[in-house]
């Protein structure tokens, strides 16, 4: 009997993602930045997607200093982007790479921690839009490029609160439940008809701005840095997870 796939403790090889074009949202900070650097160390052509050009340029420069393949920068504010912005990104990917081999939906916002009874409605809409609707729209527009790969992987970012509801986590928790649902629906639609697999990955607690926002009194030194969590992302984005689809996995 074969062992079920588990991305934890995956140790990424230096050439593991060579010749693969991998797009990452929220690549300027936190987990997205760490995964972008890790993918470039594995020789991937990374497409850095985000809303803050200064942060993205810093990651671009860091990859250059480390001797990685030159990445691309795609400015896209997931709260404000319109159809034309998504189309422009997809056209740019096809023009530069001819296909897309990996897509990591990592960008996200926390919103506020508040009881549903008092949850601010505009904040609710913003969180659901950035965390779910924008990821859906980006997936849809990039599917033609993913289908041109021989081994493509879409990874959505989930969370413990997207698997079991927790009081006061409001729109964020609901958005992560929706992310789990989107992963399952899309995986079922694509299974067996092409090269695109779809999975969800839960980083678990990590030393980032979002975690600090959620737990302001916590000692951040007790948390793993994002750099310590990149192995499972490389595993799910690259050849290690070939044939695995519709799953929801953990980094820790
Ligand atoms: P983070 O440091 O706050 O990073 C979030 C990223 O999303 C940033 O790069 C941010 O860009 C980007 N982003 C936010 N709004 C955006 C928008 N409108 N358009 C484009 N990009 C936008 O948080 P993180 O902890 O690394 O979170 C990464 C993912 O892991 C999220 O999906 C989160 O839900 C998930 N997660 C995190 C933890 C944890 O403990 N940290 C646990 C479970 C799940 P800016 O830099 O421009 O703001």
- The domains of the chain, with CATH numbers, are 13-250 (3.40.50.720)
Reduced to 3 states, what is the DSSP secondary structure of residue 49?
Answer: strand
pLDDT digits (tens, 9 = 90+) for 163-211: 999 999 999 999 999 999 999 999 999 999 999 999 999 999 999 999 9
CA distance 45 to 21: 5
Which residues are part of the catalytic machinery? 172
Cα(116) to ligand 1 centroid in Å equals 22
Task: Give this prediction's pTM.
Answer: 0.98
- In sequence order, what are the residues at sequence separation of 6 or more whose Cβ sits closer than 8 angstroms to the Cβ of residue 196? 143, 146, 147, 149, 152, 153, 154, 190
Residue 151 has pLDDT above 90, yes or no: yes
Is 29 touching ligand 1 by the criterion CB < 6 Å?
yes
Distances (CA, A) of 184 to 54, 195, 226: 35, 16, 26
Is 7 touching ligand 1 by the criterion CB < 6 Å?
no
Residue 3 confidence (pLDDT): 81
Where residue 9 falls among pLDDT bands split at 50, 70, 90? Answer: confident
Residue 1 has pLDDT above 80, yes or no: no
Is 206 touching ligand 1 by the criterion CB < 6 Å?
yes
DSSP assigned state of 66: T
Where residue 79 falls among pLDDT bands split at 50, 70, 90? Answer: very high
Cα(240) to ligand 1 centroid in Å equals 25
pLDDT digits (tens, 9 = 90+) for 38-54: 999 999 999 999 999 99
Is 55 touching ligand 1 by the criterion CB < 6 Å?
yes
Closest listed residue to residue 124, CA positions, set 175, 61, 79: 175
Reduced to 3 states, what is the DSSP secondary structure of residue 15?
Answer: coil
């Amino acid at each position: 009997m074969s062992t079920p796939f588990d991305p934890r403790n995956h140790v990424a090889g230096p050439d593991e993602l060579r010749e693969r074009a991998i797009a990452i949202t929220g690549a300027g900070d936190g987990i997205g930045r760490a995964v972008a650097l890790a993918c470039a160390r594995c020789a991937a052509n990374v497409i850095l997607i985000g809303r803050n050009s200064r942060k993205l340029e810093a990651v671009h420069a860091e990859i250059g200093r480390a001797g990685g393949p030159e990445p691309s920068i795609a400015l896209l504010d997931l709260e404000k982007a319109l159809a034309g912005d998504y189309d422009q990104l997809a056209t740019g990917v096809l023009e530069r790479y001819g296909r897309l081999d990996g897509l990591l939906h990592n960008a996200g916002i926390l919103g506020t921690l508040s009881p549903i009874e008092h949850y601010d409605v505009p904040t609710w809409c913003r969180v659901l839009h950035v965390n779910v609707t924008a990821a859906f729209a980006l997936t849809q527009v990039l599917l033609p490029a993913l289908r041109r790969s021989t081994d493509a992987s879409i990874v959505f970012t989930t969370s413990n609160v997207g698997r079991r509801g927790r009081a006061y986590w409001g729109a964020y928790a609901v958005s992560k439940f929706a992310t789990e649902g989107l992963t399952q629906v899309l995986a079922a639609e694509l299974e067996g008809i092409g090269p695109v697999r779809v999975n969800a990955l839960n980083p678990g607690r990590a030393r980032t701005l979002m975690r600090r926002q959620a737990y302001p009194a916590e000692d951040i030194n007790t948390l793993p840095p994002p750099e310590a969590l990149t192995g499972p992302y490389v595993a799910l984005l690259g050849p290690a997870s070939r044939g695995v689809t519709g799953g929801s996995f953990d980094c820790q």
